[in-house]
A and B are shown apart, each in its own frame.
Chain A
Amino acid sequence: MKKSKQFFMVPYFLWIALFVVAPLLLILYQSFTDGQGHFTVRNYLTYGSSSVYLKMSLNSLWYAFLITVITLLVSYPAAYILSRLKHQQLWLLLIILPTWINLLLKAYAFIGLFSRAGAVNHFLMFIGIGPKQILFSDFSFLLVASYIEIPFMILPIYNAIVQLDPALPNASRDLGASPWQTFRLVTFPLTLSGVKAGVQAVFIPSLSLFMLTRLIGGNRVITLGTAIEEHFLTTMNWGMGSTIGVILIVMMFVIMMLTNDRKKKRREVLDDEKTTL
């Protein structure tokens, strides 16, 4: 049986080797090559010494940060209210449903909404502000990116809130805390794991939303993702593209290290050890 079990595992291990490990190594290797396939560190030197690349990276981080903050501010209250409703499964489904609509279609909808003669400008004219150039601006990029990421922030926070033992906020109230103090001292710290999961789920993809920068940002916003896409598919400079890719991967690990619950990790390891004993 042991052997047959291993046999069924072969495709999975093959997948890990071929599609997890190999691509990472390849992109790392590619980042150290020039156009002719020779080994070089020039890509990294270029990246490090070029104000364009550095500024673009910082910009990308800044936008991802803004998108994360906006979605968090919208999502936490929404998740909290959601956790108090009846028929939660149904409401949750309504939150999930938009994520099942193709991202490109949603972006396309905003092209219509934000266009010069679109619905939003109609509204602005109606309230007397007059039409504005919304599409192809940083603002529209932030708005659409946040819109797309909201469900991915709501869901983990909602899960964390639902998992919170209702006796804990009660205990806090019982010990004399006002509703706001209870939220600040008990509910929020104990649902922080959900917030961190949400930040992970939003921040990292926000670094690489190249289709939105093209469709909505009108190339005014350049993220790391846009740069990679351009180097790979337009200028065909795979070496430089991979270098930016490696930078993005490094950023990703930093984010994950910052948002990983170290305490919880330790406990999980402890639990694992208990079960194996």
Chain B
Amino acid sequence: MTKPIIELKGITKQYDDGFVALSKINMTIEQGKFYSLLGPSGSGKTTILRIIAGFTNATEGQVLFSGQQINQLPPNQRKVNTVFQNYALFPHLDVFDNVAFGLTLQKRPKQEVKKRVLDALKLVQLPGYANREISELSGGQQQRVAIARAIVNEPEVLLLDEPLSALDMKLRQDMQYELRELQQRLGITFIFVTHDQEEALAMSDEIFVMDNGKVLQSGTPVDIYDEPINHFVANFIGESNILPGKMLADYQVEFVGKSFECADGGMRVNEAVEVVLRPEDLDITTADQGKLVVKVDTQLFRGDHFEIIGLDADGNEWLIHSTNPVRDGKEIGLTFEPEDIHVMRFGEKEADFDARLEQYEED
């Protein structure tokens, strides 16, 4: 295990008007990893970033940096740098002076400043842009300058506040690769705030899913995708079919009036649960061979797959991803493996959830 570089302990943020932006957040950030704070707007993810950067104070709780409490340390004395949402480049300075801002404040020798600024610009693939005005740059280029301005100071942690949200799709995807590569090359910790689940899944070592000022679930992208803790996470991360169900016994769950074998256990008999089936885990077969039968309602071509919506006998909607088209209005069968069924308990805490998974899903 690498050592923790930032720890948040019981962080609560309440504004003067009584609004609670964060409640009792605990978070451990390790060195050299790529973290994402993922959640809808207003979930508190940017507030966490501002508390780590020092722009705002937590109402309660501790912020530790390498084991030292830094709650009262002003932002200019913290070893973190931020890439702001709209870049916050200084419009009265050119590219070079923007990137050199931090180094100049440290009174570094001119030669060193020049070398490091030009190196940083090279690193973000903007060599030769040093003397441009900020207003002459495109959004993507401004983005790169903002990153260069932050990393040139060699922070131990880089905070990124939705840095890609203002870019168009193609550029966004390119930047995802670049950011990930940059993080691995520099070997420093990135904390990346986003509301885009694809972005978080693609780039992170670890994701914190947030809603209403709380961390709902944390883990690797694969863990969170495969084993969402509750309805909100299942819905927010990827697409899913979520149905009410009942736990008949360990490894046996009932939904849409039928009993299915599954891979979950550790719940009370007849406990009401929710069941998640990912659309890509549903395979299409003939009506008589399917575990479920649905009638094709609508179908959209998505480029690499077809997105099919089918209705079962009870009127439940089923979202299915298939590489082949089906005929509208046709009855089709759906099959899936027991491990494709993911069972979620109502109101389960993350610690209990993790413990239960450990116990029942070893195989």
Q: Please list the residues of chain A having a beta carbon within 8 angstroms of any beta carbon in chain B.
A: 165, 167-168, 170-179, 181, 185-186, 189-190, 267
In the complex, given contacts A170-B75, A175-B81, A190-B91, what are 6 additional A-B residue pairs having Cβ atoms less than 8 angstroms apart? A170-B88, A174-B82, A174-B150, A176-B102, A177-B76, A190-B90
16 A-B Cβ contacts within 8 A? Answer: A167-B85, A170-B75, A170-B84, A171-B89, A172-B90, A174-B81, A174-B82, A175-B101, A175-B149, A175-B150, A176-B76, A176-B105, A177-B76, A177-B101, A178-B74, A179-B74
Whole-angstrom distance between the alpha carbons of A49 and B150 in the complex? Answer: 61
B86 interface residue (CB < 8 Å to A): yes
Query: Do residues A174 and B75 form an inter-chain contact, with CB atoms below 8 A?
Result: yes
Number of interface residues, chain B, beta carbon within 8 A: 26
A175-B81, A176-B153, A267-B135 are known contacts. Are A170 and B55 too (CB-CB below 8 A)? yes
Query: Do residues A172 and B86 form an inter-chain contact, with CB atoms below 8 A?
Result: no
B324 interface residue (CB < 8 Å to A): no
The interface residues of chain A lying within 8 Å CB-to-CB of B185 are: none
B71-113: which residues lie under 8 A (CB-CB) from chain A? 74-77, 80-82, 84-86, 88-92, 101-102, 105-106
Nearest CB on B from A230, distance (A): 45
Query: Do residues A173 and B75 form an inter-chain contact, with CB atoms below 8 A?
Result: yes
- The total of Cβ contacts below 8 Å across the A-B interface reads 62
Query: Do residues A175 and B84 form an inter-chain contact, with CB atoms below 8 A?
Result: no
A173-B74, A178-B76 are known contacts. Are A165 and B106 too (CB-CB below 8 A)? no
The interface residues of chain A lying within 8 Å CB-to-CB of B53 are: 170, 174
The interface residues of chain A lying within 8 Å CB-to-CB of B135 are: 267
The interface residues of chain A lying within 8 Å CB-to-CB of B54 are: 173
Query: Do residues B86 and A167 form an inter-chain contact, with CB atoms below 8 A?
Result: yes
Chain B: CB-nearest residue to A192:
B92
Nearest CB on A from B86, distance (A): 7
Nearest CB on B from A267, distance (A): 6
Whole-angstrom distance between the alpha carbons of A267 and B91 in the complex? Answer: 12
Query: Do residues B85 and A168 form an inter-chain contact, with CB atoms below 8 A?
Result: no
The interface residues of chain B lying within 8 Å CB-to-CB of A173 are: 54-55, 74-76
The interface residues of chain B lying within 8 Å CB-to-CB of A174 are: 53, 55, 75-76, 80-82, 150
A177-B105, A190-B92 are known contacts. Are A165 and B86 too (CB-CB below 8 A)? yes
B136-155 vs A: 1/0 string, CB under 8 Å? Answer: 00000000000001100100
Chain B: CB-nearest residue to A165:
B88
Q: Please list the residues of chain B having a beta carbon within 8 angstroms of any beta carbon in chain A.
A: 53-55, 74-77, 80-82, 84-86, 88-92, 101-102, 105-106, 135, 149-150, 153
Chain B: CB-nearest residue to A267:
B135
Query: Do residues B90 and A186 form an inter-chain contact, with CB atoms below 8 A?
Result: yes
Chain A: CB-nearest residue to B99:
A175
Query: Do residues A172 and B101 form an inter-chain contact, with CB atoms below 8 A?
Result: yes
8 A-B pairs with the lowest CB-CB distances in the bound complex, closest first: A167-B88, A175-B102, A171-B88, A173-B75, A174-B82, A176-B76, A167-B84, A176-B105
Max chain A Cβ within 10 angstroms of own Cβ: one of B55, B86, B149: B55
Nearest CB on B from A268, distance (A): 12
Nearest CB on B from A179, distance (A): 8
The interface residues of chain A lying within 8 Å CB-to-CB of B149 are: 175
The interface residues of chain B lying within 8 Å CB-to-CB of A171 are: 82, 84, 88-90
Query: Do residues B84 and A189 form an inter-chain contact, with CB atoms below 8 A?
Result: no
Chain A: CB-nearest residue to B79:
A176
Chain A: CB-nearest residue to B91:
A190
Max chain A Cβ within 10 angstroms of own Cβ: one of B55, B76, B77: B76
Nearest CB on A from B257, distance (A): 55
Whole-angstrom distance between the alpha carbons of A181 and B101 in the complex? Answer: 11
A168-B88, A174-B82 are known contacts. Are A181 and B55 too (CB-CB below 8 A)? no
Query: Do residues A176 and B82 form an inter-chain contact, with CB atoms below 8 A?
Result: no
Chain B: CB-nearest residue to A181:
B105
The interface residues of chain B lying within 8 Å CB-to-CB of A189 are: 92
Whole-angstrom distance between the alpha carbons of A177 and B88 in the complex? Answer: 15
The interface residues of chain A lying within 8 Å CB-to-CB of B106 are: 176
The interface residues of chain A lying within 8 Å CB-to-CB of B150 are: 174-175
Whole-angstrom distance between the alpha carbons of A231 and B80 in the complex? Answer: 67
Whole-angstrom distance between the alpha carbons of A258 and B85 in the complex? Answer: 35
Nearest CB on B from A269, distance (A): 13
Whole-angstrom distance between the alpha carbons of A174 and B49 in the complex? Answer: 12
Whole-angstrom distance between the alpha carbons of A170 and B81 in the complex? Answer: 11
The interface residues of chain B lying within 8 Å CB-to-CB of A172 are: 90, 101
Whole-angstrom distance between the alpha carbons of A179 and B74 in the complex? Answer: 9
The interface residues of chain B lying within 8 Å CB-to-CB of A190 are: 90-92
Nearest CB on B from A241, distance (A): 43
Nearest CB on A from B21, distance (A): 17
Chain A: CB-nearest residue to B75:
A173
Query: Do residues A168 and B76 form an inter-chain contact, with CB atoms below 8 A?
Result: no
Chain A: CB-nearest residue to B85:
A167
The interface residues of chain B lying within 8 Å CB-to-CB of A267 are: 135
The interface residues of chain A lying within 8 Å CB-to-CB of B102 are: 175-176
Nearest CB on A from B92, distance (A): 5
The interface residues of chain A lying within 8 Å CB-to-CB of B105 are: 175-177, 181
The interface residues of chain B lying within 8 Å CB-to-CB of A170 are: 53, 55, 75, 82, 84, 88
Query: Do residues A175 and B86 form an inter-chain contact, with CB atoms below 8 A?
Result: no
Whole-angstrom distance between the alpha carbons of A181 and B104 in the complex? Answer: 11
Whole-angstrom distance between the alpha carbons of A186 and B54 in the complex? Answer: 18
The interface residues of chain A lying within 8 Å CB-to-CB of B89 are: 171
Nearest CB on A from B155, distance (A): 9
The interface residues of chain B lying within 8 Å CB-to-CB of A181 are: 105
Whole-angstrom distance between the alpha carbons of A171 and B135 in the complex? Answer: 18
Chain B: CB-nearest residue to A170:
B55
Nearest CB on A from B46, distance (A): 11
Whole-angstrom distance between the alpha carbons of A267 and B105 in the complex? Answer: 29
Whole-angstrom distance between the alpha carbons of A172 and B74 in the complex? Answer: 12
The interface residues of chain A lying within 8 Å CB-to-CB of B76 are: 173-178
The interface residues of chain A lying within 8 Å CB-to-CB of B84 are: 167, 170-171
Whole-angstrom distance between the alpha carbons of A175 and B74 in the complex? Answer: 11
